[in-house]
Structure 1
Amino acid sequence: MKAVAPWVRTRLRTAPGPALALMLLVLVTSFLAAVFPRAVDAYEGEGMRHAMSSASADRSGIQMTYMPPFEYADGAPADVRDRELKPRRMDERYRRILAALPEPLHADAAQSAYGARTGTPLPATDSWLPQLDGGGPWFTLSTQAGLAEHSTLHSGRLPKATDGGVVEGAVTSATAKTLGIKAGSTIHVAPPDGQATLVVKVTGIVEPVHPERAYWSVEPVLRTPTHLYTAPPVPQPYWHGALLLAPEAAPKLLTVSADAEAYWRIAADPAGLGAGDLPRLREVIASVESGPLHAKLTSAVSPQMQIDSGLDDILLDFDGILSAINPVVAVAVFGVGSVAAIVLLMSGGLAAARRHSELSLLRSRGGSVPGIAGRLLAEVAVPVLPAAALGCALAFVLVPDGPPLPSLLASAAVALVACAALPLRAAYLHRRPRLHGERDDVVRARPSRRRTVAELTLLVLAMAAVVALRRRGTAGGEVDQLVSAAPVLVGGIAALLLVRLYPLPLRLAALPMARWRGAIGFLSLARAGRSSVTAALPLLALLVALTTAAFGGSVLAGVADARDRASLAAVGADARIEASDVLPDGLADAVRKVPGVRDVAPVRREFDLDLRDGVSENVTLIAVDPDSYARLARSTGFGAFGAGQLRKSTGPLPALASPAVAERLGGGESLVGAAGTLFSVRVEAVRVTTPAATSGDFLVVDAAGLPDRTPTTLLVTGPSASGAELKAAVRTAGGGAGVTLRSTARDGLTESPVQSGAERLYTVAVAAAAGYAVLALLLSLLQAAPERTALLGRLRTMGLTRRQGRRLLILESLPQALLAAAGGALVGWAAIRLLAPGIDLGRLALAAQGRLAAAGPVELRADSWSLLLPALAVVLIAVAVAAAQAWVTTRRTVTSELRAGDTR
């Protein structure tokens, strides 16, 4: 018989609330599922581009050099060698090189350069040039193309080609200022081997455009002169500058330099690169260095061309960061994904329980299980599919970069679970008729053998995941699904265990309640015990969500602790004021008056203490005020000691030494220091670190026992001290001391966008897990709301007061809420304790490997706020919802509640 009205339209019109709630749930879940892979790809791609762009120019590009031979085997004339450096020939080879580079390696043509240069600097013989202790300046001669495009003319004109014995050149403004060169100056460059002198007339002074970029930075001497040093035993400095010749003058370099060479410097362009390009890009770089591309490039220039690049090391280091961070991130993704899936399944299960009577009536009137399931599927699909599509579209809009397939599959999985949960649960519950009023509660339910087998299987998987994580850890570089699911499996096992144990405390608590006066306590426990066995799913969702939130919060806390520790090790205190020589008088007193400063420890540091034992390893001498320095060491945790251990009574100075220094000095009196400033010390205590030197070897003594006690460093304690006011105090005192803040050092520890991106993802994961926990609790409470309302209405007819009604509903909701809260906190703590040995947070906290030692071991630790706040929120929300429901119910009349229908 044809239906009078379509099923889907009728259901959505009569019950729009549940459909809108499901639509909103699917929208949020689909958005999170779609945005996670795109966010990961976005920060990984940004991290790779950052790694390439922040590296030095000589490492982030490809360097190709070719030295034309003096003689050719085929007897070609000598001028053939000159033609090798002609601008047309150089430009032709440059274009061949660019054309040979395959995807995804892109050349930044604007910063790539080519030309010819002298292999070793050549001395200038002009007496008017400034001389240092090592003699007059030496120059590198370069004919790098593109000078006009990469500089602005400061004075004079750019060099041109000449036919005579004088070549024209230019210098940068920094070179001109340092070496006293002006437009019109003439510089004579004479090779040391006595070859003909080359006369260079400086026609112009240029100012580099973007001097920090590759054109000027691959060979920094082109823009800024540097110091070179004479040979030992007494190295003396002399200036090293660059003369920028016209490209047409390249053959002239062969007359003054036996090692003149042609070069092509290809700057890599990171724009447009994504994390998915990393494997292919590494293959290309390896092929360029020694592979088929190497052969192709050398054939375009010469078999003798040398090719070198630091890109492979940059990408290898970045790959190491990803390999260390991705497994840690996968734990958060698995946790949130599992919680979301459980909540979707729970929404379908609770909807099936809410509509049990309706569906039973359909079955009793001849409805088939497939027919009912099909109608429910069509009913659910109407709000679910548009919501899933909209959530995916929002993810694409907010994070436009990234591969589309993972996001589409994730949103499709969300839609599939949301659509299938209600029909499958309803089909399972109504596969056979059930007696009306048949009890199905947690107290009387007996787990079946199938459920026991499933729980034991899950227990085995959880044990295997924990053992694998503790043995292999997350530092292996590959994402292991079983290892990543370890916190979820631990939470699942705990939920199943608590569901089995749940009836026991209810039965025990009901015994004394039965003897107390009043029925509220006994009735609330009896009501809690009569809850359906479907309460296992909300409890599972709550425990997994709380475990994920606690785990994620602990990861963030461990990362923050590591950065705090590393920044403290880098600075030695909350702030460090340091001078190259000595600090001005009165600066310590001025710093003490700065608001927020708690304490100041004056320190004198000398980095070349001679222990007079013939060993050349550097030792830092640290002369301190024992009282202030002991307070600083105690507050920082770096080698705490008692101030009395450094105070001298008689004999040698008591000293605090690093283990290596203590071993070199032995246990007795030792004479240390340079000639003329010798003093005796005796090692009283050994510490691995100390605030003024958290790495390296050191010797700490009382400054009062040294002839020169003027401090060179002030270590300032006071987290709230203003950096601006500290710098103002330093400027007022004079002396040119520098101020280093711990907060600034901490900000610099997040070097890679991969770190900040992973942290943001973990923060979202914690928030999402907490949100799903609240949602699971609300769904479970709202599911029983109609039954509780009707019960309260009946009890009101029997004389139950409003106050007693509120107490009944609150006490009825407390057992499951307290069980979930206490179990979630306990399981979160246990999961962290179990999994901490296998979680490596070092590269997530500190991208630079060299800073890991200073920070110490970066381990996962239980964070009290992450454990207790979500658990407390669960209890408060449960009480608040029950109180609100009781208030609404007691405000309505008894007859209206009874007329609403009997839910039995």
Structure 2
Amino acid sequence: MNITLPVRVHRGPAVVLAVLVFTAALLVGGLPRAVQYAYDAALHRSMGGARASAVDLVVNRVPGATADVERLARDDRAWWDLLPPDLRAVTERGPGTRAHHSVRTVETPVSASAKALKNSNRYLNLAWLSDADRRVRYVQGRPPGPTRRTTVPGDPGLGQIPLFEIGLPTHAVRMMGLPVGTTVLLGHSGTVAARVTGVYEAVDPADTYWHHETDLLRATEWPIPGTTATEYHSTALTSAESVRDIDGEHRRLLHQWVLPVRTSAVTARNARQVIDAVAEFGDAVKGVPSYGASATAEPGPTGLLTDYLRRLRTAETLLLLILGGLAVVAVGVIALAVQLLTERMRPALGLMRARGGSLPRVLSIGAGAVALVTVPAGLLGYAASCLVPGAGIPVAHAGPLGITLAAMVIAAGRLVVADRRPPYDGRDDLVTRRISPRRVTLEVIVVAVALGGAYLLRTRGLTTSVPERGADPFLIFVPVALTLAGALIVVRCYPCPLRLIAAVATRGPGAVPFLGLTLAARARSYSALPVLILLPALTVSVFAAVISAGLDATQREAAWLRTGAGARIESTVEIPPEAVRRVRQVPGVRAVVPAMRSQVQIGLGSDFGTGVAIDLAAYRTLLAGSMLTAPEPPPEASAPGGTPLPAVPALVSRDLAGQGGLEVGWNARFTAIPAGTVAALPGLVDRAYRLIVVPYDTNDRAGSRTQPNMLLVSGDDLDADRLAAALRLPAAPTVTTVDGELAKITATPLAGAISQALLVVTVALAAYALLAVLLVLVVTGADRGTALSYLRTLGLSERQARGLTVLEIAPMIVLTAAAGLLLGLVLPSALGPGIDLSVYAGDADVSGHPIDLRTAALLAAGVAAVAVGGAYAYAAVASRRSLGAALRIGD
């Protein structure tokens, strides 16, 4: 017999099998690619939003002596040669990149100038950049030239000292008062002179190159602790010819090389290798001593990549559970389709076996026919999955191959079991087979291991190496074991209540209930397959629905935690009362609570903290019905004896608790009497450290004036632009809304990937559940048709035939749906330690995922109803046979 003959004869089952293999290969191969694409997008978004100084590799050296330009260039080539292969693949060099090296002095004081002998609190470093000629343009004066020697008028003791020509950025010229032509003395010992010859600007100030050289674009002001004075720091550019002269016994030097990382080359697949390569590079750099000191390499992207891998592994855990459940259900449905095709081929193969055909020959024909269907379908599904954007990770290649091999192995196994002995005639529904003790023991072990695994997962939690090693295999094992245990329990238990109900139905006037329930209770052994498919499908669907609802709630909670109210308005200037009234009149606004937040002085020294003045009672009313709560307002307090300052009650962070009265300097000085602690004020204060929360009118009580700079708003459909326009302030305020923050959270690649994956998996599983029911009806169609043919001759109507078919399949669907619903609701609690939704909520500090019983119940009921409807539709088609066709069944 040619292997193509069974496929041509049984085209219907072959087409069904081909479609199932194709879709399963597409899903199993395409979803990982799509998810991997989201992973890479999340990484590129994270690295692209970071400063280049936190991404690039930087080699620093604090030498005992400086070098010339040629030696620095040779060192630059040496660092590039030390890069490990994994790191070299993600770095870039040459013109147009951020790659460069530099020499600069550190903390060089301005000791005097030509205009003022005492220009104190000024620091001006000298620097040379290897590519300064391409990065800056001079808008005044000229570029610096080589170093000369000079004397300082009025100070002959200095003798001949080096005179550096320098260029300054425009911002430093204005802030430090050093126009072109100014000469300054640098250093209190080993003094040198520097003359400003030009003023420059960056060719492209927005270039990430300047993340490494911010001091060459702007001067900075640093307050001196404990005083009202300010330090000014800037860095000046000098010429390449002056590099040798920068060296000095009394000056600190820094050599620096920047090796930029090409963020687009770093992916989720090589992130761990990049981290290891950075560590290897750092060790190699330390082993190259020069200039009397060893160089050190900064960790570069290690911090970003480590945090990303932590979030990635947590995300992979949830997606692995979902995709694993989909693969199991897909293989189960394919097993039913294989069974349908092999059942249709069984008479021909049985005849071949009865006529002396060997088992290998029968196996080659049957399995070859299945392979002829599944292999092209699997290849087409794999090819279609390659069109999905995303990298081809191993599971994307192995998944379609595994689906195809599983179909062929199932076919070979069924044929070996069915044809290892010559065929015989008999009715399986009238034969009671004794259950094997080994099988019972195995099933008991599976149930016990599943329950024990769930208990251990709740008690011991997960491995602490998830960020390094990926998902804990124990977490992956527990859902599979629980689902398998639930399916075994349903398979073993559901015939028992059916027999009892059938016994009761015998006393009724109608024959259809009794016959339908009896057929269901006497179903052949392979009728248990729908249970093994429906239960995982419903379990994973309900689990996905619960997680999806929990994800929505978690993301919204994170948005509230970021905002602190329906909307938060922050201003750098005081918000006057008339502006507050205008905000209250904005459509949709229900309530507005003003607040004041700023840095405050604690005590009389340089100890500072954060002060928040707010009416907590009004804030609690504003948050009523939301996902946040505010602390109770503190009771009024009296000032301790001996202090003339007014006393106000306060809530303080834990680090300030137990200190008695705290003297606080804000707009006026007062004594804060701690009356409780505050753990956090989400949206108002990022971290509850050195935090003091006082009544809103505290500054008024202290003799000053309350100057609100924050508004907390509640309402519906709050629009950030309308709220900002209503204020009419001279400085544009910052308006944050819950809806705006929620949009940012849900727009992240990881959040989008999990939402789409949950939707696709839920739809696919519902379709597979319906297909499983239809396939088992088709597989058992011959036996059912024989029974119905006899009943039709006895007067059974088409309507009764449809009812009989539905009653045969409906109990199994309903019981399995109930078990799947229960197990799907249990899984989130059983897997609680392994499911962290914070990575999909902007890493907000959220915990738990509320269970939406209504959504889960509607989903289970809907899938069950669709499956029963499919059974009814099949019965409606099958019952339309004419009486003559019914009589010829089985001939």
Q: Name the TM tier (shorter chain).
A: 0.7 to 0.9
- Indicate yes or no: 2:133 matched with 1:148: yes
Moved more, 651-660 or 867-876: 651-660
Counterpart position of 1:77:
none
**Does the CA contact (< 8 Å) of 1:806 and 1:883 recur in 2?**
yes
Q: Return the match for 2:370 from 380, 386, 391.
A: 380
- Indicate yes or no: 2:38 matched with 1:10: no
SS of residue paired to 2:693: strand
**Does the CA contact (< 8 Å) of 1:601 and 1:625 recur in 2?**
no
SS of residue paired to 2:252: coil
- Indicate yes or no: 2:723 matched with 1:726: yes
SS of residue paired to 1:339: helix
Shift of 1:263: 2.5
Q: How does 1:663-742 map to 2 (within 5 A)?
A: 664=658, 678=670, 683=675, 688-690=679-681, 692=684, 695-696=687-688, 697-699=691-693, 701=695, 703=697, 707=701, 708=705, 711-718=708-715, 720-730=717-727, 732=728, 736-742=732-738
Q: Return the match for 1:415 from 397, 404, 429.
A: 404
Q: 1:16 to 1:703 in 2, by over 3 A?
A: farther
Q: 1:196 to 1:474 in 2, by over 3 A?
A: closer
Counterpart position of 2:810:
814
**Does the CA contact (< 8 Å) of 2:14 and 2:341 recur in 1?**
no
Q: 1:801 to 1:723 in 2, by over 3 A?
A: farther
Q: Distance in 1 between matches of 2:681 and 2:77?
A: 57
**Does the CA contact (< 8 Å) of 1:191 and 1:256 recur in 2?**
no
Moved more, 90-99 or 311-320: 311-320
Q: Distance in 1 between matches of 2:764 and 2:23?
A: 10
**Cα deviation 1:196-226 (Å, max 9, x = unaligned):** 542334335333426341x311131112222
Q: Which one-letter code corresponds to 1:827 in the other structure?
A: L
Moved more, 362-371 or 486-495: 362-371
Counterpart position of 1:549:
541
Q: Distance in 2 between matches of 1:799 and 1:128?
A: 120
**Cα deviation 1:450-481 (Å, max 9, x = unaligned):** 32122123224323432442313265414343
Q: Distance in 1 between matches of 2:763 and 2:30?
A: 15
**Does the CA contact (< 8 Å) of 1:573 and 1:632 recur in 2?**
yes
Q: Distance in 2 between matches of 1:161 and 1:752?
A: 52
Q: Number of matched residues?
A: 858
Shift of 1:103: 1.0
Counterpart position of 1:116:
103
**Cα deviation 1:281-330 (Å, max 9, x = unaligned):** 3333223323x4532x446x765434433444344334433444444443
Moved more, 869-878 or 802-811: 802-811
**Does the CA contact (< 8 Å) of 2:366 and 2:412 recur in 1?**
yes
SS of residue paired to 2:735: strand
Q: Distance in 1 between matches of 2:544 and 2:249?
A: 66
Shift of 1:358: 4.6
Counterpart position of 2:261:
268
Q: Distance in 1 between matches of 2:273 and 2:686?
A: 41
Structure 1: gaps of 5 or more residues: 71-80
Q: Distance in 1 between matches of 2:515 and 2:335?
A: 30
- Indicate yes or no: 2:614 matched with 1:632: no
Shift of 1:114: 1.0
Q: Return the match for 2:440 from 429, 437, 452.
A: 452
Q: Distance in 2 between matches of 1:303 and 1:690?
A: 48
Q: Return the match for 1:91 from 73, 76, 92.
A: 73
Q: Distance in 1 between matches of 2:451 and 2:125?
A: 67
SS of residue paired to 2:102: strand
Q: 1:415 to 1:870 in 2, by over 3 A?
A: same
Q: Which one-letter code corresponds to 2:485 in the other structure?
A: I
Q: Return the match for 1:285 from 274, 278, 299.
A: 278
- Indicate yes or no: 2:4 matched with 1:20: no
Moved more, 173-182 or 273-282: 173-182
Q: Distance in 2 between matches of 1:375 and 1:36?
A: 34
Counterpart position of 1:487:
479
Shift of 1:571: 1.5
Q: 1:714 to 1:764 in 2, by over 3 A?
A: same
Q: Distance in 2 between matches of 1:870 and 1:763?
A: 12
Q: Distance in 1 between matches of 2:709 and 2:198?
A: 47
Shift of 1:787: 5.4
**Cα deviation 1:609-652 (Å, max 9, x = unaligned):** 86x799968464432173453341553332465x9x87999x99
Moved more, 808-817 or 394-403: 394-403
Counterpart position of 1:73:
none
- Indicate yes or no: 2:451 matched with 1:469: no
- Indicate yes or no: 2:552 matched with 1:565: no
Q: 1:189 to 1:99 in 2, by over 3 A?
A: farther
Q: Distance in 1 between matches of 2:651 and 2:711?
A: 20
Q: Distance in 1 between matches of 2:79 and 2:147?
A: 29
SS of residue paired to 2:270: helix
Moved more, 18-27 or 167-176: 167-176
Counterpart position of 1:833:
829
Under a length normalisation based on structure 1, what TM-score does the superposition of the two structures give? 0.84
Q: Which one-letter code corresponds to 2:92 in the other structure?
A: D
Counterpart position of 2:123:
138
Q: Distance in 2 between matches of 1:670 and 1:140?
A: 42
Q: Distance in 2 between matches of 1:887 and 1:94?
A: 80
**Cα deviation 1:581-630 (Å, max 9, x = unaligned):** 432223333333333334333334455386x7999684644321734533
Q: Distance in 1 between matches of 2:441 and 2:401?
A: 31
Q: Distance in 2 between matches of 1:154 and 1:445?
A: 97
Q: Distance in 1 between matches of 2:837 and 2:608?
A: 29
Q: Which one-letter code corresponds to 1:880 in the other structure?
A: G
Q: Return the match for 1:187 from 171, 182, 189.
A: 182
Q: Distance in 2 between matches of 1:591 and 1:445?
A: 79
Q: Distance in 2 between matches of 1:662 and 1:150?
A: 49
Q: Distance in 2 between matches of 1:427 and 1:582?
A: 84
**Does the CA contact (< 8 Å) of 1:334 and 1:485 recur in 2?**
no
Q: Distance in 1 between matches of 2:667 and 2:419?
A: 97
Q: How does 1:148-547 map to 2 (within 5 A)?
A: 148-151=133-136, 158-161=143-146, 167-175=164-172, 185-193=180-188, 195-209=190-204, 211-213=206-208, 215-230=209-224, 232-254=225-247, 258-290=251-283, 292-295=284-287, 297-298=288-289, 304-399=294-389, 401-403=391-393, 406-433=395-422, 435-440=424-429, 444=432, 446-470=434-458, 471-473=460-462, 475-477=464-466, 478=469, 479-547=471-539
SS of residue paired to 1:637: coil
Q: Distance in 2 between matches of 1:772 and 1:326?
A: 24
**Does the CA contact (< 8 Å) of 1:34 and 1:407 recur in 2?**
yes
**Does the CA contact (< 8 Å) of 1:49 and 1:270 recur in 2?**
yes
Q: Distance in 1 between matches of 2:616 and 2:795?
A: 79
Q: 1:693 to 1:270 in 2, by over 3 A?
A: closer
Shift of 1:739: 0.8
Shift of 1:903: 4.7
**Does the CA contact (< 8 Å) of 2:350 and 2:419 recur in 1?**
yes
Q: How does 1:576-615 map to 2 (within 5 A)?
A: 576-605=568-597, 608=600
Q: Distance in 1 between matches of 2:656 and 2:62?
A: 54
**Does the CA contact (< 8 Å) of 1:633 and 1:639 recur in 2?**
no
Q: Distance in 1 between matches of 2:461 and 2:194?
A: 67
**Does the CA contact (< 8 Å) of 1:104 and 1:273 recur in 2?**
no
Q: 1:392 to 1:157 in 2, by over 3 A?
A: farther
Q: Which one-letter code corresponds to 1:225 in the other structure?
A: A
Q: Which one-letter code corresponds to 1:589 in the other structure?
A: R
Q: 1:431 to 1:862 in 2, by over 3 A?
A: farther
Moved more, 148-157 or 508-517: 148-157
Shift of 1:53: 4.5
Counterpart position of 2:863:
874
Q: 1:244 to 1:674 in 2, by over 3 A?
A: closer
Pairwise CA RMSD: 4.1
Q: Distance in 2 between matches of 1:585 and 1:679?
A: 27
Q: Distance in 2 between matches of 1:385 and 1:506?
A: 41
Structure 2: gaps of 5 or more residues: 151-162, 641-645
Q: Which one-letter code corresponds to 1:715 in the other structure?
A: L
Q: How does 1:892-903 map to 2 (within 5 A)?
A: 892=880, 894-895=882-883, 897-898=885-886, 901-903=888-890
